[in-house]
Structure 1
């Protein structure tokens, strides 16, 4: 009898351990799903970004009231800044490294420290700092016809927080990128906005921003006397 009782206890213990582990994993998964993006991003954010974000929150709190800036509408979505495009999307020689590579966005050169505005309604996915882009913002835009992300880099000042709701034309930052006079300019030869459109939150998903900002070119007309 004693042996049978010990056997039952050992059997219950044997089954309770994996069941407990499964329940623990389910609780962790539910907690992650219920957590804001900023909490999850904290696991992947470098100390420099965390320090900047904490300083920003200490100054502004967890909610920032954004002003509406000037909207320049050429195509489907407004321009993020009012300036000329100085470097298009596509292959190029990098102005700093001198190496041939692929430019993942467009560079827009407005007046120094011009207001940068969101091109669409959305939610801030990340506010960060790195050695290439300096201060940057990534925003997710959910529309019935598509979901895309807009990316704004080389910013001298940032006015948004992760998870914040953003509307078209909101002033989210000030342009920067001056390697001498701007904080966290990134890899830059002069002040400008580096702007990208991405199909998901990862950098490799970049696509040409021009179709989002400008109307499509008119269809080429057949030459006179040629085939229709």
Structure 2
């Protein structure tokens, strides 16, 4: 990495952690394209997963009192299975195919959002969870589908963020383990994650504080703002 890019990456990392802590998801919206641009698609996607996995550990600790284990369990299992399959595809996939998958994942989310999912979100939640894990494992980001899958559980904002944090943690750890075994992640990458720990703690504190101040209506606006961000990335890639 060129020295002049280091501050840009650190700012992106901090912003990703703060958004993720406030909304429960959205970190990959910032982190994946930044690291993919700086390091290349595959290394960027892999390092983003490692950093987000570590950050999700901090988030789970921060939201430990509002973790809906029972309600989120089916979604978490399906995300993990999907992420494992998608991560294995990334290992053997051509670079161009992985790049196109990033765009495709947003296209799928955009199509899902074109329908009124509120009436069927409980039924569609398992399918969205599996698709979320698969697209995350293959392209590095699953935000729109994951957001819809967990929102289908009809939780209040703190438990929703807790569920998103748990789901993200399991998915990112699954991908990280597979990519470490495939040598996409090495010891140097883990040292980078360790060096980012202070940023994770500070950003998570700020994000959680923001979440507790905005109320249910404010959080709903934040949730859909993140979803709009993913849609914006979709349109920019067309």
Same fold (TM over 0.5): no
Which of 1 and 2 has greater Rg?
1
Higher relative CO (Cα under 8 Å, sequence separation at least 6) belongs to 2
Higher strand proportion: 1
The alignment's TM-score, normalised by the length of structure 2, stands at 0.26
The alignment's TM-score, normalised by the length of structure 1, stands at 0.27
